[in-house]
Amino acid sequence: QPPPRSAAPPPRCLAGPPRELARVVAPTRMWRRAAVGLFRQAAGQASPNRALLRPPRPPQCHWPRAGRSVAASADPAGAPGLPVGGEDAEDQQLAEQIAHYAAMRPNPLSLGRVLEMMTPWLMARFIYKELPIRYAERIRSIEALPGWGAVPDLAEVRRRHVRTFEDIVMSGRFPSRSSLGDPDLLLDFNQVVRSAAIRQTDVQLLTARAMHTLHRQNPDTFSVGFIDKWLDDFLLNWIGTEMLVAHYLACVHGQPTGIVDPRCDVAEVCRDVAFTMQRLCQDLRGRVPPVQVLSRSALEEDRRAPAFSYIPSFLNYILIEILKNCCRATLESTQDDLKLQKRPITVLVCADERRVAIRISDLARGIPFDVGAHVWSYMYSTARKQAEGATPIAGYGVGLPLSRLYARYLGGSLDLISWPGYGTDVHLFLPRLTSEQVEVVPDQDNEDE
């Protein structure tokens, strides 16, 4: 008769293997396990393991948080009512912590430095110190808006930010190289980062929608110029946070260079996006605008196919937004399929040793001069003015302005020139040297520097 089974100990939050076994199992396996679901979600891929993306049960894993315990949650919306407990002293302590970190100067990284921090513990040390600074800056920006608490979307964005800020800052001193040898502690930290990424997935939509609400309620205080400047700073800061989080999770998942491609083939990315947009037009409109991609370079070694270190997902987003507008405008410019074939969209990729340039031009009769000045405004959207359906982001005018922010984030630029009656040119310039690809992180305390 087999001996009776002893009662198993209650499972810990994200409990890894027993310590004896953990010393044998390679830490990379545990990192991959903890981060694969979120990394695939951030990359827009379906995870074959649905359990990795399923929000876990509310765990009873407690970090040492300044004398109180707060359960870490992976719920995208977070638990209602932060800070937990609601005591005045705790509220005051949290407010002081946010003010302290908001006053600190952020530490922008160059893409070259990002590529040097491929070891998960190195990246963990950096984001542990840096993320609270960037979160606190955005929390302060929200709290500076008059009447922000009366706008549900804005209150929700702040609450998510506060939750993530508290998860990181109040979790005690972490990490050091030696502490990352503790599998349980590492998995707990990965879960905090994973939860942070899940909470931020639709922040751009919620924030833009909230600012539209404030403009409708009080157009004098929240003018178009004020909203455009506020959203530019807020979302540019948000892009930097998203990059750090996604890159860390990619490193944990074992990606050799994280989310950065050291040999990003610009023309190939353009062709992939053009093909995707053509298929989308075929599905939605039953017609396909012609798109041609040309590639040139001043460097012999490029062999007419410039490649450089960049984040492909950022380039994809920029190109999708531009080509989406070009394809729609081209299809609407004529209903004659023969004339349509004479109005190709041209994507030209050029480069020298310092820059990569992409020019996207169409022959869709352009846009009026007075309209062209508004295409970069979050308060203007062509999709919202038309009868056709629009994606939620495009419908709130975030697509093109956010594309320009993705270009600016690593030192690039995005501009549009309209030729009314003829067509439109969009010019994208990106620095090619990793030493010049430096994060642009808005900081209210150092705006003039």
What is the Cα–Cα distance from 427 to 431, expressed in whole angstroms? 13
Three-state SS at 423 = strand
Q: DSSP secondary-structure letter at 110?
A: B
Query: How high does pLDDT run on average in the chain?
Result: 79
Mean pLDDT value of segment 34-60: 35
Check whether 25 has a pLDDT greater than 70. Answer: no
Three-state SS at 346 = strand
Check whether 324 has a pLDDT greater than 70. Answer: yes
pLDDT tens figures, 76-92: 333 334 444 446 788 88
What is the Cα–Cα distance from 58 to 163, expressed in whole angstroms? 15
Point out which residues pair with 413 in neighbouring strands: 429
Q: Please tell me the number of Cα atoms within 13 Å of 78 on its side-chain side.
A: 27
pLDDT computed for residue 67 by the predictor: 31
Mark out the alpha helices in 286-361 (DSSP H runs): 312-333, 337-340
Angle, to 10 degrees, between the axis of helix 224-252 and the axis of helix 399-409?
A: 60
Q: How confident is the model at residue 72 (pLDDT cuts 50, 70, 90)?
A: very low
Instruction: Compute the C-alpha angle 238/44/387, nearest 5°.
Output: 80
Between 6-10, 17-21, 305-309, the lowest mean confidence (pLDDT) is in 17-21
Check whether 73 has a pLDDT greater than 70. Answer: no
pLDDT tens figures, 269-323: 999 999 999 999 999 999 999 999 999 999 999 988 999 999 999 999 999 999 9
Q: How confident is the model at residue 188 (pLDDT cuts 50, 70, 90)?
A: confident
Q: Class of 261-431 per CATH?
A: alpha beta
pLDDT computed for residue 182 by the predictor: 60
C-alpha 266: how far from chain center: 20
pLDDT tens figures, 152-173: 999 999 999 999 999 988 665 5
41 Cβ neighbours under 8 A, 6+ residues apart: 47, 53, 197, 198, 201
pLDDT computed for residue 65 by the predictor: 36
Highest-pLDDT range among 29-43, 55-69, 176-190, 252-266: 252-266
Q: Which CATH number fits domain 98-253: 3.40.50.300, 3.30.565.10, 3.40.50.9100, 1.20.140.20?
A: 1.20.140.20
pLDDT computed for residue 383 by the predictor: 54
pLDDT computed for residue 174 by the predictor: 54
Share of the chain above pLDDT 90, in %: 61
Report domain extents, the chain: 98-253, 261-431
CB 89 within 8 A of CB 67: no
Q: Which of 63, 60, 237, 205 is nearest to 136 (CA)?
A: 237
Q: How confident is the model at residue 122 (pLDDT cuts 50, 70, 90)?
A: confident
Mean pLDDT value of segment 125-154: 95
Torsion over CA: 315, 42, 210, 240 (sign): negative
Mean pLDDT value of segment 52-70: 33
Tally Cβ neighbours within 10 Å of residue 390. 16
